[in-house]
Amino acid sequence: MGAFPKSIHFIGTNTPRRVEMSVRNLEVEGEIPAEIDGAFFRAVPDNANAPMFEDDIALNADGMVARFNITGNQVDYDIKYVETERYLAEKEARRALFGQYRNPFTDDPSVKGKDRTLANTTPVWHGGRLFMTKEDGRGYEVNPHTLETIGAWDYFGALKSETFTAHPRIDDETGEMFFFGYEADGLCSLEVAYGIADKDGKLTSEQWFKQPYCSTIHDFCITEKYAIFPIYPTTADIDRLKEGGAHWAHQQDLECWVGIMPRYGKVEEMRWFKGPKGVSAFHFINAFDDGELVHMDVCLSDTNAFQFMREAGGVERHQMDVKGALTRWTFDMSKPGDSFESRDLGPPGDLPRLPDADQGRPYRRAWYLSMNPEGGPPMPGGPVGANFNAIIRIEPGNGRISMMGVPPGAGVSEPAFVPSADPENGGWLLSVVDQPNGPDPSNYLSELWVMEADNVEKGPIAKVKLNMPLRSQVHGTWVARAKLDTSVQKA
């Protein structure tokens, strides 16, 4: 195929842009507080080549690593492809060689056995290194100063898992990173690897366990005591893959499971709790424990949020009819049995953000994206094909909610949180906002907005103008200047 399809995966904010660039001294409206000093890294899937198949999806696009480098009112922007094995093979061939999303049986025979990962989901900073991650493979290390790709990361040969999650959790106090990889030893395997890397980025532990069925484990949680692995009924099947079918199919009639083990314990200590049928979640705000009770705050929906995963499972549901709520699941570790409590905490939404310091601990506030009912129809694009149009701030302890809507027809992407050293100051959020620029949904202007994290309803205090459209990101991460200065890779 020489041209891009016109599906929701390639229009609106999913319109391929494909440009590596560097822009210095972006236009800034308003004042960016001087304390905002560092880099906002973003993972942007953007096809380097037109796809092999007409029904290709946005999650199957090459990873680009983007960076807003901010020092006061001076902002530079850079974006570059992650040079995965897959990207380099296709660059040489000058066309797509890898076929359907996570199905190697649809690839050109010339790339058999090559690394298929796209490193397109989350930038992760740990142990002085920057990684671009996607759950179907190992992370790729990227130089945070030049954005050049260094290579696939295996902890100096120590990592056994072939996969590494796009959602590791870092305990801010100990500096340890807790992570997992599912399908750890191959396609449709039940094996899940659970690993810990110490604050210096050395692998200190890797244990494997089996999940109840082969599900997409997109995110997990830690508390001070526990590691929590939620399993939702979107499953993989090797025979379907061999027939050229979808990797994932949602099974509305299958129950979900949550595995909880001591975070420094043995996988043999895993306790399995059984939950409702057919529900789905990709992200969790946080979890915490008081010794016996374990609370986990889930961006829950009543079916899978991705149309292509519903369709493959025969679930007929329009995108706007997917229902959900921010939901607290509470597990009593002092009692036997496999049941748990559930209650609503807040409006439906996804792409949550928590201050790094609160990871795994009781927390006062967090943010996530949602739909403002007064915001008009959503802007097409983003991972699920429809963008969010509001940022919600929630205090989970008392249910207090405030909201920032973006202008009608605009879309907002996952915010990054920038803490302040001043305990009286609640810090800031950074978020890319895409605003329509005429009737064509592929024509819009992208801006980086700066908000006071505790006063989101005030709207932006500064706007950084790109004066052009950027393709949708998935996740991002904020890295303060002091951390960047300690990086292993030099400029």
Known binding positions: 167, 218, 283, 475
Give dist(CA 433, CA 440) in Å, integer. Answer: 17
- Please identify, using beta-carbon distances, which residue of 9 and 134 lies nearer to ligand V55: 134
Among 49, 120, 163, 372, binds ligand V55 (CB under 6 A): 120
- Please identify, using beta-carbon distances, which residue of 90 and 135 lies nearer to ligand V55: 135
Q: How far is the CB of 131 from ligand V55 (least distance, A)?
A: 15
Binding residues for Fe cation: 167, 218, 283, 475
Q: How far is the CB of 34 from ligand V55 (least distance, A)?
A: 34
Q: How far is the CB of 133 from ligand V55 (least distance, A)?
A: 10
Among 383, 405, 411, 476, binds ligand V55 (CB under 6 A): 383
- Using rule CB under 6 A, residue 59 touches ligand V55: yes
Give dist(CA 371, CA 392) in Å, integer. Answer: 9
Interface characters, 209-228, with ligand V55 (x: CB under 6 A):
---------x----------
Q: How far is the CB of 64 from ligand V55 (least distance, A)?
A: 12
Q: How far is the CB of 383 from ligand V55 (least distance, A)?
A: 5
Among 47, 121, 235, 304, binds ligand V55 (CB under 6 A): 121
- Using rule CB under 6 A, residue 10 touches ligand V55: no
- Using rule CB under 6 A, residue 82 touches ligand V55: no
Give dist(CA 338, CA 273) in Å, integer. Answer: 4
- Using rule CB under 6 A, residue 14 touches ligand V55: no
**Residue from 297, 400, 415, 421 nearest 357 by CA:** 421
Give dist(CA 193, CA 180) in Å, integer. Answer: 5
Tokens of 448: 């980086």
- Please identify, using beta-carbon distances, which residue of 135 and 171 lies nearer to ligand V55: 135
Among 354, 474, 479, 484, binds ligand V55 (CB under 6 A): 474
Distances from the Cα of 230 to the Cα of 138, 255, 259, 262, 267, angstroms: 21, 11, 6, 15, 15
Q: How far is the CB of 68 from ligand V55 (least distance, A)?
A: 20
Question: Is residue 154 within 8 Å of 168, Cβ to Cβ?
Answer: no
Q: How far is the CB of 277 from ligand V55 (least distance, A)?
A: 21
- Please identify, using beta-carbon distances, which residue of 26 and 43 lies nearer to ligand V55: 43
- Please identify, using beta-carbon distances, which residue of 226 and 308 lies nearer to ligand V55: 308
Among 134, 169, 225, 295, binds ligand V55 (CB under 6 A): 134
Query: Would you call 482 exposed, middle or buried from its count of C-beta atoms within 10 A (0-12, 13-18, 19+)?
Result: exposed
- Using rule CB under 6 A, residue 45 touches ligand V55: yes
Q: How far is the CB of 441 from ligand V55 (least distance, A)?
A: 21
Q: How many residues does the structure list for the chain?
A: 491
Q: How far is the CB of 134 from ligand V55 (least distance, A)?
A: 6
The amino acid sitting at 22 is: S
Tokens of 386: 């429809």
Q: Classify strands 255-262 and 249-250 as parallel, antiparallel or unpaired.
A: unpaired
Q: Whose CB is nearest to ligand V55?
A: 59
- Kindly identify the residues of this chain, within the stretch 401-420, that bind ligand V55 according to CB under 6 A: none
- Please identify, using beta-carbon distances, which residue of 59 and 66 lies nearer to ligand V55: 59
> Count residues contacting ligand V55 (CB under 6 A)?
9
- Kindly identify the residues of this chain, within the stretch 296-355, that bind ligand V55 according to CB under 6 A: none
Question: Is residue 431 within 8 Å of 412, Cβ to Cβ?
Answer: yes
Question: Is residue 163 within 8 Å of 185, Cβ to Cβ?
Answer: no
- Please identify, using beta-carbon distances, which residue of 82 and 474 lies nearer to ligand V55: 474
- Please identify, using beta-carbon distances, which residue of 208 and 282 lies nearer to ligand V55: 282
- Please identify, using beta-carbon distances, which residue of 261 and 386 lies nearer to ligand V55: 386
Q: Cβ neighbours of residue 224 under 8 Å, at least 6 residues apart?
A: 263, 288, 289, 360, 361
Q: How far is the CB of 218 from ligand V55 (least distance, A)?
A: 5
- Please identify, using beta-carbon distances, which residue of 4 and 282 lies nearer to ligand V55: 282
- Kindly identify the residues of this chain, within the stretch 243-282, that bind ligand V55 according to CB under 6 A: 282
- φ/ψ bin of 425: left (φ > 0), alpha (ψ from -120 to 50), beta (otherwise): beta
- Please identify, using beta-carbon distances, which residue of 120 and 286 lies nearer to ligand V55: 120
Chain residues binding ligand V55 by CB under 6 A are 45, 59, 120-121, 134, 218, 282, 383, 474
